[in-house]
Structure 1
Amino acid sequence: MGSTFGNHFRVTTYGESHCLSVGCIVDGCPPGMALSEADIQPQMTRRRPGQSAITTPRDEKDRVEIQSGTEFGITLGTPIGMRVMNENQRKQDYGNKTMDLYPRPSHADWTYLEKYGVKASSGGGRSSARETIGRVAAGAIAEKYLRQAYGIEIVAFTASVGNVFLFPPSATHPTAATNPEYLKLVERIDRKTVDSFLPVRCPHEESGKRMEKLIEEFRDREDSIGGTVTCVIRNCPSGLGEPCFDKLEATLAHAMLSIPATKGFEIGSGFGGCQVPGSVHNDAFIKAPAVPPGQDALSANVQRPRLTTKTNNSGGVQGGISNGAPIYFTVAFKPPATIGQAQTTTTYDEAEGVLEAKGRHDPCVVPRAVPIVEAMAALVIIDAVLAQQARAAARSLLPALERVVPVQ
Structure 2
Amino acid sequence: MKHTIAIIGGGAAGFFGAIAAATTFPDARVVLFEKGKHVLGKVKVSGGGRCNVTNAAPTLAELLKGYPRGARFLKQLFPRFSNQDTIRWFAERGVELKTEPDGRLFPVTDSSWTIIDCLQREARKAGVEIRLSEGIRRLEPKDDRFELTTTEGAFTATRVLITTGGHPQPDGYEWLTRLGIQTESPVPSLFTFNSPTSFLRELPGVSVPDALVRIAGTSFQYSGPLLVTHWGLSGPAVLKLSAFAARELAAGGYRFQCLVNWTGEKPEAAREQLELFRKTNAGKQLGTVAPFGLPNRLWRAFLAESGNREEMRWSDLTGKPFHKLHETLTNAVFQVEGKTTFKEEFVTCGGVSLSDIDPKTLQHKKIPGLFFAGEVLDIDGITGGFNFQAAWTTAYIAGLSIGL
What's the TM-score, normalizing by structure 2? 0.31
Q: Which has the larger radius of gyration?
A: 2
What's the TM-score, normalizing by structure 1? 0.31
Q: Larger relative contact order (C-alpha < 8 A, sep ≥ 6)? A: 2
Which protein is richer in strand relative to its size? 2
